[in-house]
Structure 1
């Protein structure tokens, strides 16, 4: 009976670890943005193209980078290539929050920041609270976010 209890405990710990590893963390988002900023500094257009083409080096579970100019136009998007070239400054989340405008404003005032809003999770397809980490780079803002589960 003791062996069964130990086995059950081990399986529970494994399941919890697997679930935790299934989704990106805030540290993963910060690392993704740092990686993107570095790559953009080296070769801006090639990096934008790789991000938008969903190159595996730019996708980490539910995490991907997005790059905007400071007017809210999408320059690269790791999940939705149709967004590239679009001005999303007036885009609202389900609660009516102008999250792209807020993101651009925060980039200009803070440089590096975390932002809360709601967005559709590409894994579950459900609208979830999300935290986006962003850094201003010249006339752009480079971001990657995690969903609050």
Structure 2
């Protein structure tokens, strides 16, 4: 029998806030075009699987009614890898879950949130039933590795219940990496020393999911800031090696030589999955500094190049 990763209490208590954000901050998707929902291209297969599992669960519920809830809450056809079905009723009670939120089955989770938010939560759940599928991104603990990761859920109301299935997003998009780089460059232009200190202090505004900033001082070729591995701070960037032994530091310097911007490819450890993965890094100059942000690509995508 599969064991759940240990879940810190503070994350257990956040489930109600998650459900609130799920319904109040959702992006509405027409049922007939659910497969066209806006998802990151590299996660299209996971999105398709989640929507198929959701449709399968709703069909099963319509066949046998509430008896299906027990099926959703145990290992079987409604738990597929990291994806599972969970159900909440319009009173805010967790009715079924094939994942770690199973510990809330039978409990009214609205009691765990602020009263003012609880009223809004109740109002959202009391909306009329429709054929619409909703989609929402949020952060949640991955029960397979015990790490907090981005997650996207698809959910639909049927009768007095809301059915949902989600999938994890351990890799940020290229556009998210560019956005973080743009923010870092803006801060570096205004307050370079303060920004370097903030990066090294893991400022959440400069560290987002699996994205982080690192900075090289071209006056001495030292790594002066790193938003993930502090052991690299102060090291000779030219000596930096990838996980497969490639001189990635020198490769980056060569790529941006004589240019303001560059893009490099190499193998690096993803801080979310803790696995070596293909990575693409955006480099851009700011005075005598080189500022960089990298994003991880699916191995399948990398093989297509």
Partner of 1:92: 241
Structure showing greater relative contact order (alpha-carbon pairs closer than 8 Å, 6 or more residues apart): 1
Question: 1 CA distance for matches of 2:174 and 2:224?
Answer: 23
Higher CA-based Rg: 2
Q: Deviations over 1:16-67 (max 9, x none)?
A: 6x434x4311111111111111101111111000011001111111000000
Match of 1:37, SS?
A: helix
Aligned to 2:59: 4
Structure 2 unpaired stretches of 5+ = 1-54, 63-77, 79-132, 136-151, 155-164, 299-305
Structure 1 residue 13, shift from structure 2 partner: 6.6
Deviation at 1:5, TM superposition (A): 6.6
The corresponding residue for 2:252 is: 103
Could you list the runs of 5+ residues in structure 1 that have no partner in the other structure?
Answer: none
Structure with the higher fraction of residues in strand conformation: 2
- Contact 2:281 2:294 (C-alpha < 8 Å) held by counterparts: yes
> Which of the pair is proportionally richer in helix?
1
Please list, as runs of the form range in 1=range in 2, the aligned pairs for 1:103-142 lying within 5 A after superposition.
103-142=252-291
Is the 8 Å Cα contact of residues 217 and 288 (structure 2) preserved in structure 1? yes
Which deviates more, 83-92 or 52-61? Answer: 83-92
Give the aligned CA root-mean-square deviation in angstroms. 2.8
Return closer, same or farther for 1:6/1:45 CA change in 2, 3 Å cut-off: farther
